[in-house]
Structure 1
Amino acid sequence: MAAKAKNPVWAFLASVQLALLLIGLLASTSIIGTVVQQNKPPEHYAETWGKTGAAVIDAFNLDDMYNSVWFLALLGAFSLNLTVCSIDRLPGVIRVVRKDNLGTATEQLLKMKMQHKVQRGGSVETAAQHLLGYLSGKGWKAARRDKEDGTLFFAQKGGWTRYGVYVVHISILIILLGAVIGSPTVAKKIFKNPQFAFKGGVLLPELRSTERIFSYDDESEIPLGFTVRCNFFDIHFYDNGMPKDFVSGLTVLEQGKEVLTTNIEVNKPLTYKGITFYQSSYNDMHRPIIHLTNLTTGKKTVFPVNPEQWDATHSWQEEGGQGMLRIQEARSVPAENGTGTSTEMQMWLMDSQGPPSMFPMSYGRPVIVERPSTKYELKIGPHYATGLQVSKDPGVWWVYSGCALMLLGLYAAFFMSHRKIWAYVHEVNGGAVVVFIGNANKNSLGFEKTLAALAEGFSSKNDSSN
């Protein structure tokens, strides 16, 4: 009977050609996403790409390409292709795994290349009984069927590995689902809930707090549901003036109570209630600020300096009581590099450990103050605002789960095989002969050695029993 013709639309959606086309489009457009910096202000694109280039970037939403409608549509088309392809081919794989291998004609089996013959004395039934026990002892659970000319055994391992490629397909769909769930575009246009998933940022000066950030998409305010405070910002530079590293001390507050305090830096973010804060940038506020670090406890405290009240007294809380700090005197001095001027100050510091300390301090240069049982490091420098990139991605665990599943599927698909063994017991010249026949869909050379060892072991067992 002639095979039923496939629906042409179904055949197109299941085709490898469509998969290759979509993969090529996704790969090539992703290159654009690496060339064009994402989520930058409009003036950045006008300055970098010119007026026409900026217009093209805006028209095709290339400044947030991975959340654009057309890129999500490509992902949707690829998901559809992958789903239809799997549905189309999976029944054939199921038939192979569930095939009645004992129904295979012995003439066909004896023509297979991978086989080893073992001469066995005695009756076919006796040899069959010994063979069944031997295979079971080697971990091969064999089924038996008596034939007109002998007895056929069949055992297999790793049949499930044929589904490895479909596990990979499912894992890709899970990863794509996670990407869609975590897309701000989907949250806004489909879920109608911008707070479900978002990407934005905020510039937060030292000692300032915020309860909201600003969306990269349209600069709209997004409430966090809690408060974040920047306790301090610390930056170090290379000798050439380029930033070496920078750290922000953040505190999360709920209803005015501190619930979490930590430091973040590049590649070391803070995550709270599914919202992640990344150290992204910084900005000079063009005002001075004093950084005080207790070198014994590691506690850091900062005091903004009001140029109009530079000699105000600043206080902080220590374990043994209250500490106080004040600029007693300030004057301009020539800068060390010979160009311009710097500021030199006379400082006054007192805590609960004896009389106050008085010492000089220059702008931008730290000093160490030794107290009876504590050391302090003081530095006065620019007042910074930390630039935080903030995102909420509820699909990230879908992506992680999909990646883990993909590794399992790839391992099964490429490093494991479906191995089959037939053992045909029949009579030749009055004695039993056992033919071991094998087949593997991958690593046939390795399985050939396994089959040879199995046949040799059965032959040795036969010799010892004789």
Structure 2
Amino acid sequence: MAVTNGRPGSASPNGRSRTERLLTFLGSVRFAIFLLSFIAATSILGTLIKQQASSEEYVSLFSEQGYAVIHIFGLDDVFHSWWFLLALVLFSLNLILCTVNRFTLFLKNRSSEALPKESYLSTLALTFFCQGTRLEEVQRLCRGYRAVLTSQQGVILEKGRFAQYGVFIIHTSILLILLGGLLGLMLGFKGSLNLPVGESADTITLRGGGEAARRSLDFSIRCVDFRVSFYENGQPKEFLSSLEVVENKRVVLKKDVRVNDPLTHRGISFYQATYGTDAAFEFVIGGKSVLLNEGGTFRQGSLALMVVRYAPSVHDFGPGVQVAYLDNGEPKAIWFLRDVPRLREQTIAGIPVKLERLTQQQYTGLEVTSDPGLWFVWCGFFLLMAGLYINFGFYHRRVYLIPRDNGVMVAGTSRKNREGFKREFERLKERIDA
């Protein structure tokens, strides 16, 4: 009867612990294929389903029940959902374990170089025998090859050793790209900022979050000037914003921002995205000057009013402003027309209200982004290009020289580009025979 020590279930029948089995599973090819399939499928869903839209838009597209399912599983923001980030982390862990295991085995094989048995070398497809030739002479004719093992039994020569590192460079580059992507998804943000000329702001509206989702900046951005030029057909040719970054009441950076030429400060980039005009309305209410924008409100005693909308032309009477107010608790609306004196000043709740002046205020529309993982992604892509170039542009090959009493046995092998190595090996044979 066999007797074993230790806790029950602490090791498998083959002697491996649970931790070892778990690490083997996490680093397996099967698990990698599952994760890649899951990431690809969910990415397709994230492309087909509109991301970060309003609940009303989802209900109109998929019904209330459909929106409930989408919201519960996070399909309205796939790429920021916890399960998508977890899949990326697990895939990164899988790639790390795979790379460590493979590199450890690679180093172990390099540190324990041994000459294969002659019986194995004689079975290789590329082999020949040099009659009456000394080993040193054959080794000298193997130009470009470096000796990695020299013994009385023979010599191992190799070329393109660095090509073996191509796959590890590729794995490292993918890890850098994944790290950059995770940092961007977890710590980065995208938003917008409409900034009137001459004004400054230190908060932005985050994309997909509505007006309530705002983010404060550690500095202020000021629009000094805005210019736009047009083609002859009226299409915008170029729009340019002159921006300043203000910290502690001091301008620390100035830049003219154009499309695809952003201002970047503290890792936050401001891109030129759009432009427009906002109307500002100066009212005199009860003898007091009040400046309101569209949607602005004013309350004084029994008077409560809100600017509903602005129209550049109201029934050909010129520009006007519609104002909503309460009359004994009942909502009403009235138009103030700038060019009609009788309708320019009216009485609301017993208080005279006059539209004093209409002004058009131009603003620049900026797209604001922050991606702390961007440099990791760029470095990863450059490293990936280098790894692919090494992996596919070069290949590792070996030549074995086995001395015999009447000559030297020459054998060669390569795991990649075997046709190319076959031609190289034939040229080597011709050189030695000559």
**Residue identity matched to 1:179:** G
Distance 1:271 1:341, change over 3 A: farther
Secondary structure of 2:422 counterpart = helix
The CA deviation at 1:383 is 3.9
Task: Map Cα deviations across residues 377-398 of structure 1 (whole Å, 9 max, x no partner).
Answer: xxxx964433322222222222
Distance 1:242 1:266, change over 3 A: same
Report what 2:123 is aligned to: 111
Task: Map Cα deviations across residues 433-461 of structure 1 (whole Å, 9 max, x no partner).
Answer: 2332111111011112222223333333x
The answer on 1:390 being equivalent to 2:368 is yes
Secondary structure of 2:372 counterpart = coil
The CA deviation at 1:281 is 3.8
For 1:285 and 1:139, locate their aligned partners in 2 and report how far apart those are by CA, in whole Å.
74
Task: Confirm or deny: 8 A CA contact 2:275 2:364 kept in the other structure.
Answer: yes
Report what 1:452 is aligned to: 426
The answer on 1:404 being equivalent to 2:378 is no
Distance 1:161 1:5, change over 3 A: farther
12-21 or 53-62, larger mean C-alpha shift: 53-62
Report what 1:173 is aligned to: 175
For 2:248 and 2:363, locate their aligned partners in 1 and report how far apart those are by CA, in whole Å.
24
Distance 1:42 1:282, change over 3 A: farther
Of 6, 21, 33 in structure 1, the residue corresponding to residue 46 of structure 2 is: 33
Task: Confirm or deny: 8 A CA contact 2:145 2:157 kept in the other structure.
Answer: no
For 1:67 and 1:132, locate their aligned partners in 2 and report how far apart those are by CA, in whole Å.
59
The answer on 1:276 being equivalent to 2:269 is yes
Secondary structure of 1:141 counterpart = strand
The answer on 1:130 being equivalent to 2:137 is yes
For 2:232 and 2:33, locate their aligned partners in 1 and report how far apart those are by CA, in whole Å.
50
TM-score, scaled relative to structure 1: 0.64
TM-score, scaled relative to structure 2: 0.68
The answer on 1:140 being equivalent to 2:146 is yes
The CA deviation at 1:412 is 3.0
Report what 1:74 is aligned to: 87
For 2:118 and 2:146, locate their aligned partners in 1 and report how far apart those are by CA, in whole Å.
20
Report what 2:392 is aligned to: 414
**Residue identity matched to 1:83:** I
Spell out the pairing of 1:309-328 with structure 2 (5 A cutoff): none
Report what 2:35 is aligned to: 22
Task: Map Cα deviations across residues 73-119 of structure 1 (whole Å, 9 max, x no partner).
Answer: 111221222233334444443344445242x1122212211124333
Task: Confirm or deny: 8 A CA contact 1:236 1:244 kept in the other structure.
Answer: yes
> How large is the Cα RMSD of the aligned pairs?
3.7
Report what 1:120 is aligned to: 132
Distance 1:443 1:403, change over 3 A: same
The CA deviation at 1:250 is 2.1
**Residue identity matched to 1:455:** K
Secondary structure of 1:183 counterpart = helix
Secondary structure of 1:154 counterpart = strand
Task: Confirm or deny: 8 A CA contact 2:197 2:224 kept in the other structure.
Answer: yes
Task: Confirm or deny: 8 A CA contact 1:251 1:260 kept in the other structure.
Answer: yes
**Residue identity matched to 1:131:** V
- Work out the number of aligned pairs and report it: 349
For 1:90 and 1:386, locate their aligned partners in 2 and report how far apart those are by CA, in whole Å.
53
Distance 1:116 1:265, change over 3 A: farther
398-407 or 4-13, larger mean C-alpha shift: 4-13
The CA deviation at 1:39 is 4.2
**Residue identity matched to 1:94:** L
Q: Point out where structure 2 has 5 or more consecutive residues left out of the alignment.
A: 1-12, 285-312, 320-358
The answer on 1:204 being equivalent to 2:204 is no
Task: Map Cα deviations across residues 315-370 of structure 1 (whole Å, 9 max, x no partner).
Answer: xxxxxxxxxxxxxxxxxxxx9xxx97999xxxxxxxxxxxxxxxxxxxxxxxxxxx
**Residue identity matched to 1:178:** G
Of 96, 117, 138 in structure 2, the residue corresponding to residue 83 of structure 1 is: 96
Q: Identity, % of aligned pairs? A: 32
Task: Confirm or deny: 8 A CA contact 1:114 1:438 kept in the other structure.
Answer: yes
The answer on 1:214 being equivalent to 2:205 is yes
Report what 1:293 is aligned to: none
For 1:9 and 1:273, locate their aligned partners in 2 and report how far apart those are by CA, in whole Å.
42
Task: Confirm or deny: 8 A CA contact 2:169 2:384 kept in the other structure.
Answer: yes
For 2:29 and 2:261, locate their aligned partners in 1 and report how far apart those are by CA, in whole Å.
41
Secondary structure of 2:198 counterpart = coil
For 1:35 and 1:265, locate their aligned partners in 2 and report how far apart those are by CA, in whole Å.
32
The answer on 1:250 being equivalent to 2:243 is yes
For 2:230 and 2:64, locate their aligned partners in 1 and report how far apart those are by CA, in whole Å.
35
